[in-house]
């Protein structure tokens, strides 16, 4: 059962996706996708434009019902009210009427964290993400990148079973993206979360992930799997890094 | 904190122009009446109105009440109707925007009643309530509730779908999303509704008092007509205007305070 996750390295399987299929009328978008994610793994998913990445994430997060197949978390059918599933969207999702602190707390609030635990964890996360200084400002008083960091902090705060990210840094400039990617990796390592990171940016995927799944065109299947066993911090000009990046690029190009 | 507030000076011209326009308006008005362009039987001059204003502060004759009583009666009626329309219209509109059952039930009836001008209800109202305060409150309520329902409804409908999805991924229930995402997000529209609704209520008030009243600012205007006294008509109009402006400013203040986070 664990043969798909070569990167697991003896880690426990956290997420099982079994025969996930989603069609809209006659159009099959996701075609019988199966894979596992190990506990604490950082998995990236890349694919050509329009291959159904967003549909895929929406199914994983249970925003969309699946046509066939199921998603198991710790062997149980995934359920947003029971499991902690966090989703960082492409667009900023700050509530303008809440301060930075209250925005970060939203997930924990909804998950009904006890008050003391919530406060304690909130302080910890705000410090970790470097938002303590701006905690009492409103989202429109901070920069756009900061808004995305708020969403990331909110997602990590609930100690998610599964953290889904949909091109969270797609709209930011390159320099800032590197900075936030480093921060993301740091958060993931510190908090030992299970992350599924969807992106169309191959370099980004190779930079952050332990393992990359490459999707095919519609109807979407998993086309290939690439392990990224490079030490961190990773260098973008390391020959091995470049090689993996080329490999993934080729895999995407030759559908 | 690194974020300082910045003071922006209004250019001199922009500060002078509003004052100049008001002064000019009154000067032209005074001149028109004084030089007989418009006869005094058709329009009162600002100074005549000012004199009457001073008198009416203390003298109840000939219309039966001093100015403050008229104003107070009107304000009571308008605000009772206004608050009732907020109390019913806003929750109704909000619910209609989020719960399809509420929309399905209330929308057809609302759409049916909405195009009827509130003053068209006056005859029925007189049958039901007579000419006392409850009847006028009812008509004012009818006119005030329309913008409340529409704006609250639209406000909820305009909630960012991504925010709703975000809440869903954390497992929020429909009710929690309504309470914590939709309502705050609709608030600017709801406050817009308060401003519009207040204006509607105040306008309808004068209409309601026109037909059935024995006190109030609208009644003062009617009495001015009956007594063939242009100054009294104009005084009534100005008082209605000024009180409306005062209420508008009050509501704007409240709104600014409550919406600090959203419109900053």
Rounded to whole angstroms, the Cα distance separating A5 from A127 reads: 33
Q: Which residues contact B61 (CB under 8 A, 6 or more apart)?
A: none
Say how far apart CA B162 and CA B176 lie, in whole Å: 15
User: Given pLDDT bands bounded at 50, 70 and 90, which one contains residue A145?
Assistant: confident
Kindly provide the residue ranges of all beta strands, DSSP E only, lying in A62-210, ordered along the sequence: 68-73, 76-77, 85-88, 162-166, 195-198
Considering only CB atoms, A107 lies closest to which of B163, B170, B184, namely B170
Q: Residues 6 or more apart from B168 whose CB is under 8 A from it?
A: A63, A80, B177
- For residue A69, the distance in angstroms to the closest alpha carbon of chain B comes to 20
**Adjacent-strand bridge partners of A214:** A46, A224
Q: Which of A63, A111, A158 faces B168 most closely, judged by CB atoms? A: A63
At B179 the pLDDT is 94
Are residues B170 and A97, on separate chains, in Cβ contact within 8 Å?
Answer: no
Q: What is the pLDDT of residue B264?
A: 41
Closest chain A CA to residue B4: A141
What crossing angle do the helices spanning A100-110 and A115-129 adopt, rounded to 10°?
Answer: 130
CB-nearest to A93 from B163, B171, B172 is: B163
Counting one residue from chain A and one from chain B, the pairs whose CB atoms sit within 8 A come to 65
CA distance B135 to B121: 10
Long-range contacts of B247-254 (CB under 8 A, 24+ apart): B247/B75, B247/B78, B247/B198, B247/B202, B248/B195, B248/B198, B248/B199, B251/B191, B251/B194, B251/B195, B251/B198, B252/B195
CB contact under 8 A, B264 and A63: no
> What pLDDT shows up at residue B97?
94
Q: How far is CA A226 from the centre of its chain?
A: 17
- Residue A225 has a CB neighbour count (10 Å cut-off) of 16
pLDDT band at A100 (very low <50, low <70, confident <90, very high): very high
Q: Which residues contact B68 (CB under 8 A, 6 or more apart)?
A: B57
A91/B187 Cβ within 8 A? no
* Residue A19 parent element (H or E): strand A13-24
For residue A2, the model assigns a pLDDT of 44
For each of chain B's 264 residues, which pLDDT tens digit applies? 456 677 777 888 888 999 999 999 999 999 998 888 888 888 888 888 898 888 888 887 777 788 888 888 888 888 899 999 999 999 999 999 999 999 999 989 998 988 898 888 888 888 898 877 888 899 999 999 999 999 999 999 999 999 999 999 888 899 999 999 999 999 888 888 888 898 888 888 888 887 667 888 888 888 888 888 888 899 989 998 888 888 888 888 887 777 665 554
Whether residue A7 is predicted with pLDDT greater than 60 in this model: the reply is no
Contact call for B171 and A110, based on CB within 8 A: yes
Closest alpha carbon within chain A to B259 = A97
Please tell me what DSSP assigns to residue B253. Answer: H
User: Per-residue confidence at A69, pLDDT binned at 50, 70, 90?
Assistant: confident
Domain annotation for chain A: domains and CATH numbers: 2-83+161-253 (3.40.50.300), 97-159 (no CATH)
SS3 B16: helix
pLDDT at B152 (0 to 100):
94
* B180 CA: distance to closest CA in chain A (Å): 9
Distance from CA of B262 to the nearest CA of A (A): 5
Q: How far apart are the first and last CA of chain A?
A: 27
The answer to whether A125 and A149 have CB atoms below 8 angstroms apart is no
Is residue A180's pLDDT more than 70? Answer: yes
What DSSP line would sit under A125-157, residue for residue? HHHHHT-GGGTTS-GGGS-HHHHHHHHHHHHHH
Which one-letter DSSP state was computed for residue B109? H
ipTM score for this prediction: 0.85
Burial class (CB in 10 A: 0-12, 13-18, 19+), A118: middle
CB contact under 8 A, A95 and B264: no
- Rounded Cα–Cα distance for residues A82 and A110 (Å): 11
In chain B, what residues touch A138 (CB-CB under 8 Å)? 261, 264
How far apart are alpha carbons B119 and B102 in whole angstroms?
28
Beta carbons of B261 and A91 less than 8 Å apart: no
Kindly identify which residue of chain B lies nearest to residue A161, measuring between CA atoms: B170
* Domains of chain B, each with CATH number or no CATH: 44-263 (1.10.3720.10)
Model confidence at A255, pLDDT cuts 50, 70, 90, reads very low
**Using a CB-CB distance cutoff of 8 angstroms, which residues of chain A are in contact with residue B170?**
80, 85-86, 106-107, 110-111, 158
Q: Is B216 left (phi over 0), alpha (psi -120 to 50) or beta?
A: left
Which of A88, A89, A94, A95 best tests the B interface by mutation, with the highest count of B CBs <10 A? A95
Interface residue B227 vs chain A (CB under 8 A): no
Return the H-helix or E-strand segment holding B77. Answer: helix B67-98
Burial B153-173 (b: 16+ CB within 10 A, else e): bbbbeebeeebbbbbbbbbbe
Torsions phi, psi for A71 (to 5 deg):
-120, 120
| Residue B169 contacts A, CB cutoff 8 Å | yes
The two tokens of residue A47 are 């694919």
């Amino acid at each position: 059962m664990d043969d798909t996750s070569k990167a697991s390295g003896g880690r426990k399987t956290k997420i099982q996706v079994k025969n996930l299929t989603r069609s809209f009328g006659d159009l099959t978008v996701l075609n019988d996708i199966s894979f596992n994610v190990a506990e604490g793994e950082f998995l990236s998913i890349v694919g050509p434009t329009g291959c159904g990445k967003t549909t895929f994430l929406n199914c994983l997060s249970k925003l969309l019902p699946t046509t066939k197949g199921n998603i198991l978390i710790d062997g149980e059918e995934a359920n947003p009210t029971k499991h902690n599933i966090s989703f960082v969207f492409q667009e900023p999702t700050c509530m303008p009427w809440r301060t930075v602190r209250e925005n970060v707390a939203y997930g924990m609030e909804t998950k009904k964290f006890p008050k003391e635990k919530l406060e304690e964890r909130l302080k910890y996360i705000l410090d970790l993400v470097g938002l303590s200084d701006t905690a009492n400002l409103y989202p429109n008083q901070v920069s756009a990148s900061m808004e995305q960091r708020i969403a990331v902090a909110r997602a990590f705060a609930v100690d998610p079973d599964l953290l889904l990210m949909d091109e969270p840094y797609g709209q930011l400039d390159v320099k800032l993206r590197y900075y936030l990617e480093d921060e993301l990796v740091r958060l993931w390592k510190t908090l030992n979360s299970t992350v599924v990171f969807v992106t169309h940016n191959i370099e980004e995927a190779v930079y952050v992930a332990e393992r990359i799944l490459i999707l095919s065109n519609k109807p979407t299947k998993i086309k290939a799997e690439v392990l990224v066993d490079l030490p961190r911090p990773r260098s973008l000009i390391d020959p091995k890094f470049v090689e993996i990046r080329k490999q993934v690029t080729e895999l995407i190009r030759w559908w | 904190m690194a974020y300082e507030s910045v003071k922006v000076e209004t250019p001199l011209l922009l500060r002078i122009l509003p004052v100049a326009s008001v002064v000019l308006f009154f000067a032209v008005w005074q001149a028109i009446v004084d030089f007989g362009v418009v006869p005094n039987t058709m329009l009162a001059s600002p100074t005549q109105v000012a004199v009457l204003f001073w008198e009416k502060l203390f003298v109840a004759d000939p219309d039966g009440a001093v100015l403050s009583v008229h104003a107070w009666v009107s304000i009571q009626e308008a605000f009772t109707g206004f608050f009732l329309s907020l109390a019913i219209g806003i929750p109704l509109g909000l619910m209609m925007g989020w719960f399809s059952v509420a929309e399905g039930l209330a929308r057809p009836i609302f759409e049916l009643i909405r195009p009827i001008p509130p003053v068209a209800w006056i005859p029925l109202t007189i049958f039901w309530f007579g000419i006392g305060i409850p009847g006028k409150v009812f008509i004012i309520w009818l006119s005030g509730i329309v913008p409340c329902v529409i704006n609250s409804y639209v406000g909820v409908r305009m909630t960012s779908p991504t925010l709703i999805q975000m809440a869903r991924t954390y497992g929020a229930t429909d009710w929690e999303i309504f309470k914590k995402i939709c309502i705050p997000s609709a608030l600017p529209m709801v406050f817009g509704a308060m401003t519009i609704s207040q204006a509607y209520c105040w306008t309808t008030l004068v209409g309601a008092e026109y037909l059935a009243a024995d006190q109030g600012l609208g009644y003062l205007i009617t009495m001015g007509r009956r007594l063939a006294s242009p100054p009294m008509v104009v005084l009534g109009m100005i008082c209605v205007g000024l009180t409306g402006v005062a209420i508008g400013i009050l509501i704007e203040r409240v709104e600014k305070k409550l919406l600090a986070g959203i419109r900053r």
